[in-house]
Amino acid sequence: MSEYLINHEQETQQLAEKLAAHCPKNKRLIIFLKGELGAGKTTFTRFFLRALGHHAAVKSPTYTLIESYELAKQLIFHLDLYRLQTAREILEMGLYDEFDQLAIWLIEWPERAQSFLPPADILLTLSLLDSQRIARLLPQTPLGEQILKKMETSEH
């Protein structure tokens, strides 16, 4: 597990850029984003997308549930499952079959539909601690482990 103390939004940006720099192209990568409301999940996603070359506005998918971004060589989906009433809504919306796409999936509030989501490669948990945040990156698969090891070795 990698842990980062975040004092300023700029440090969130640096973490997002670091993770984005080590994400493979043409592979499916699933990142679960967990944390209470206001912990910085959407802010992290905005910086992550910017690091991959998306410079337009990043809308929170709280009401649309999903936003997609087609970048030069990468497809990215940003889901916010906070408003799901039941986990089965993932099936009803036809999203279940979409998870096979070679894309980066950033999924906020995955616990709302955990039984219908593929397993995460990386779990990012953002916690509030007074005026600071703690970001914890935990690999969940060999791919996630590989990415986080690359991040750690690039720091030294």
pLDDT tens-digit readout, 67-109: 889 988 889 999 999 888 777 777 787 776 788 888 999 999 9
Hey, what CATH class is 2-154 in? alpha beta
* Predicted confidence band of residue 156 (pLDDT cuts 50, 70, 90): low
Task: Parse the chain into domains and list their residue ranges.
Answer: 2-154
- Interior angle at CA 8, CA 6 and CA 19, nearest 5: 55
Q: Are strands 132-139 and 29-34 parallel, antiparallel or unpaired?
A: unpaired
pTM attached to this predicted model? 0.91
* Predicted confidence band of residue 15 (pLDDT cuts 50, 70, 90): very high
pLDDT for position 124: 98
45 burial level (CB within 10 Å; 0-12, 13-18, 19+) = buried
pLDDT for position 114: 83
Token pair for 118: 């593929």
- The span from the first CA to the last CA of the chain, in angstroms, equals 16
pLDDT for position 83: 82
